[in-house]
Structure 1
Amino acid sequence: MKLHYQSIGQGEPLVILHGLFGSSDNWRSIASALSEKRQVISVDLRNHGRSFHHPQQTFELMAEDLLNLQDELELSTIDLMGHSLGGKTAMQFAQTFADRLGRLIVVDIAPRQYPDEHSIIFKALLALDLSKFSSRTEASEALVDTLPDPMVRQFLLLNMQKADQGFSWRINLQALFCSYPGLLQSVEPDGPVETPTLFISGEKSDYVTDKDWQHIKTLYPQAEHVMIDGAGHWVHAEKPDIFIQQVNRYLADD
């Protein structure tokens, strides 16, 4: 059971982990820009993208998946960046395999437990009979009443792939839905994590609050926090130039 990944550039390795419903494809432009100075490895988490499907999905298992990939690529240490679900996975990796990690970048997520904001999405997607659609546009129209934001629908429907008849899901939607309650849980460490860490958040996002940051500083004593003005949860997509600048600055800082 190997993770699918995309690698670009040469130099010190930076691994990127996407968020829920995402894939390595979502990070291509960011990875390309960052690859000017290092090797960038964008990963599909289990049950996402082109990686393997499995009925179980926990942060511990995803951290082990990443360790197995690191061993496969013969990388003694990596820098690691994760967004949202990928950010929590990255924090779990830092706690469990600290000796295999250089620096950590966590994008718009805190280690705390979060409320359920995605069950409505899961149920809407599971209710679709993809075999009846001839295009993503048709599927998008069927979701308008439940998911009115066109950008959200466009992002989610990137997970549709051509099938013998109509479309099918590339992601393991049912397994993700069953695992979702566990993915909302905290990944707070038992003790301080000494890995140098950068937390990047969006000014308009409520995923990392002032209260979160005060708590994060006790858990990650070497952490730095950068808030990007005008950005929401998808900070890397909304303000890519500033995001890339901040990541390059942090990784270049010895």
Structure 2
Amino acid sequence: MKLHEKVIGSGPTHVVFLHGLFGQGKNFGGIANDISDIATSHLVDLPNHGRSPWTETFSLDNQADAVADWIADAFDAPVALVGHSLGGKLGMRIALRRGELLDRLMVVDISPARNVSAAEFVNLVAALRQLNLDEVTSRSYADEALTELIPTDRIRRFLLQNLRHKGDSWSWLPNLDLLGDHLHDVGGWPRIEGVYDGPVLWVNGGRSPYVQPEHLAPMRELFPRVLQLTLKNASHWVHSDDPDAFVTVVRHFLTEL
């Protein structure tokens, strides 16, 4: 599977960014620009997202395998990987199952555990499915149509970045039906054997419910070299809530860890 990527920067370290559910690689564009002197950033659209191909089935491991195969084909040496939310789960499973592909791993606001907060996406997906694309005449029309069902402006406009206009028709970039039907799998963490002994930086948002104290033990069991850091002013979208601090953390991850 040839995943869609955007490459930013020309620094010596190759770093792959993996976004969260219903995101796109371009969500990390500002971060990539700010580290372009030390890194070449590969902003990847996950399978079933953005401009990457769709799959017929969904599991964390088959999605991780698609990304791992792409990394193996694209690079001659291990790379650094930064994964947020769903991207962090895929990054962890790549590290545990094909650790030779990674030089280091940064996991952003997600844990090797079932994430109860992922349940919020059930209502969001239901709202998106209710939008009649045949009636959409503009992005602002779609925004207004979804306001009652998704009242939080930030979340609604983030999701509407996935609405594509081509000719006279509108469609969703992500595989909305497949992802919506597998939200339980997205939020889960199937049992996995093995240990990744490379350096791991675990960055959490202080105002996010996704990482809980009871997640520390399983994280340390799977990733014995993990270092945990909390950005106290950030919610789940750590890189957009506190971008300056996040850039500082990424720079440390790439040069000091």
Q: TM-score, normalised by structure 2?
A: 0.94
Alignment of 1:47-196 (within 5 A): 47-115=48-116, 116-187=119-190, 189-196=192-199
Asked if structure 1 preserves the Cα contact closer than 8 Å seen for 2:96 and 2:195, the reply is no
**1 CA distance for matches of 2:17 and 2:75?**
17
**2 CA distance for matches of 1:213 and 1:94?**
17
SS of 1:79 mapped into structure 2: strand
**2 CA distance for matches of 1:222 and 1:195?**
7
Asked if structure 1 preserves the Cα contact closer than 8 Å seen for 2:208 and 2:235, the reply is yes
Q: Which runs of 5 or more structure 1 residues have no equivalent in the other structure?
A: none
Which residue number in structure 2 is paired with residue 204 of structure 1? 207
2:239 is matched by which residue type in structure 1? Answer: H
Q: Which runs of 5 or more structure 2 residues have no equivalent in the other structure?
A: none
SS of 1:51 mapped into structure 2: coil
Q: Deviations over 1:80-128 (max 9, x none)?
A: 1100000000001001111111100000000101222211111110111
1:236 is matched by which residue type in structure 2? Answer: H
**1 CA distance for matches of 2:207 and 2:191?**
24
Q: Deviations over 1:3-28 (max 9, x none)?
A: 00111223121000000000011111
Which residue number in structure 2 is paired with residue 242 of structure 1? 245
**2 CA distance for matches of 1:145 and 1:60?**
36
Which residue number in structure 2 is paired with residue 4 of structure 1? 4
SS of 2:171 mapped into structure 1: strand
- State the Cα distance separating 1:208 from its structure 2 match: 0.9
SS of 1:113 mapped into structure 2: coil
- Give the aligned CA root-mean-square deviation in angstroms: 1.5
SS of 2:15 mapped into structure 1: strand
- State the Cα distance separating 1:187 from its structure 2 match: 4.8
Q: TM-score, normalised by structure 1?
A: 0.95
SS of 1:154 mapped into structure 2: helix
- State the Cα distance separating 1:157 from its structure 2 match: 0.3
Asked if structure 1 preserves the Cα contact closer than 8 Å seen for 2:97 and 2:194, the reply is no
**1 CA distance for matches of 2:161 and 2:26?**
10
- State the Cα distance separating 1:69 from its structure 2 match: 1.7
Q: Which moved more, 1:19-28 or 1:207-216?
A: 207-216
SS of 1:62 mapped into structure 2: helix
**2 CA distance for matches of 1:127 and 1:214?**
41
- State the Cα distance separating 1:178 from its structure 2 match: 2.0
2:235 is matched by which residue type in structure 1? Answer: G
Alignment size in residue pairs: 254
